[in-house]
Amino acid sequence: MQGQEQEQDQGQELLSLAVQVDRLPKAMVRLTVTVPAAEMGPAMAQAFRKLVARYNIPGFRRGKAPRHVFERFVGTGPLVEEAARILIDKFYPQALEQADVVPAQEPRLQITEVGVDEPLVFTAEMGVMPSVELGKYRQWIDVPPVVPEVTDALLDEERRQVATRHAEWVVAGEEDPIEAGSRVVVDLEGRVDLEGETEPFVEAEDHVIEVGQGATLEPLEAQLIGGHLGEDLTVRFNYPPDYPDASLAGQPAIFQVKINEHKRRVVPTFDEELARAEGLDTLDELEEKVQKAVADRLEQESKQQRLAELLGKLKESAPFEIPEALTQHELVHRVSDMQRTLEQLGADLDQYLRARALTLPALLEELRPAAEDRIRDDVLLHALAKAEGLTVTDEELEAYVTQQLADDPKQVTEALAAMKKSGDLEAARESLLMEKVVRLVSGPASA
């Protein structure tokens, strides 16, 4: 009976609430919500029960004063204000449901009318998730993706990569020149090549460089080619103008390099022995593995291309505005990722900005197009999931968590409870939903 009464109450609320929806530029919405005057009385009674213990009323213990005495000493103002907050908390979610909008940020709330036994009118202004009309999107999804043919050149490259995985480093002879792919151990001393410069800005002993990998400065690596073990080299070049360390960006530099060790990579032959190293019995099996790896990669690349093409077509046929709140959120993530990358290079964001003569606002505007494009992709994928009725069930979530953990029912149950509490469970549901829609639009064979 209690559940039926709650359903009836909810039904009455839906009938009694008035919501005006005003669409504003840049995916903003203003809701003007009118709560009937009949709701104010119960809300003020609730407000009184909440506030009465906060005041000392002469002649009564704290929290024991009757309401008429409370109002005589304190007034109705605090009760009306608290009642308004109670009603907003109660009816704002319902207003969102009636308006059929999904907020992309916290709303800016404002009370415009309120009083004892009077309707409450409040506004809620916010950016909302875009509403997308996909149109006849099935005309693009139903066409199978075109997978390129497996060519001899692609097979040869895959064979080379398989063999390279099992390559060994051997000590090179003194007569063997350093080449792309060599691994050298060097002592480095670097100075800015300016008149009067005395202190080195880089001094490193036994620094390991894989020539041609680009992990060190590419101009430095390139000038090591042709050198020999035990040789002392002088290397000159200019630092790139966008180098993260602003003190070096664009500066001429001179490095003294001593080559202490030189190893070259010996790549094995693609034969039966290599097959056994790959855990297979025969060369034919290794050839089959190579064929499958290339075919799988081509299929995956064709699906990724198909997904990009479909999203591109949808962006053209179903344009929509993005709320600024979503853009700002994505920009924060991108700047954070950039900061982590710079830290790995031994620099920071301030140095990067100085090197490029940029301000942070200018950098954000530079990143904005890519950020907005990423948001449009995400919105369109959600719209496709909705159009196709794709969902992630609790059973699928449990199966996902089970895969991540040992197959222990108790552990899975505890993990699900912890993920639900932290919000990670809904994040996992979101990730699985996106996987489903990507499989759908990547090609019918993979849906």
Third-level CATH fold of 168-266: Chitinase A; domain 3 (3.10.50)
Instruction: Mention every residue, 6+ apart, whose C-beta is less than 8 A from residue 178.
Output: 172, 184, 211, 224, 225, 226, 227, 228, 259, 262
As a whole-number percent, the residues of the chain with pLDDT over 90 amount to 47
pLDDT of residue 10 exceeding 50: no
Q: Cα separation of 131 and 47, whole Å?
A: 38
Q: Cα separation of 201 and 192, whole Å?
A: 7
Would you kindly state where each structural domain of the chain is located, as residue ranges? 15-127, 168-266
Q: Cα separation of 283 and 272, whole Å?
A: 5
pLDDT tens by residue, 28-80: 999 999 999 999 999 999 999 999 989 888 888 888 899 999 999 999 999 99
pLDDT of residue 215 exceeding 50: yes
pLDDT tens by residue, 394-418: 888 888 888 777 666 667 777 878 8
pLDDT of residue 446 exceeding 60: no
Q: Cα separation of 77 and 351, whole Å?
A: 55
Query: Reduced to 3 states, what is the DSSP secondary structure of residue 215?
Result: coil
443: pLDDT confidence band, cut at 50, 70 and 90?
A: low
419: pLDDT confidence band, cut at 50, 70 and 90?
A: confident
Q: Which CATH class is domain 15-127?
A: alpha beta
166 C-beta neighbours (distance < 10 Å), count: 13
pLDDT tens by residue, 94-143: 999 999 899 999 999 999 999 998 999 999 999 999 888 888 888 888 87
Average pLDDT (13-40) is 87
What is the average pLDDT value for the chain, to the nearest integer? Answer: 86
Instruction: Mention every residue, 6+ apart, whose C-beta is less than 8 A from residue 211.
Output: 178, 179, 180, 181, 182, 183, 184, 221, 224, 225
Q: Cα separation of 77 and 80, whole Å?
A: 5
Instruction: Mention every residue, 6+ apart, whose C-beta is less than 8 A from residue 292.
Output: none
Residue 111 pairs in a beta bridge with 122
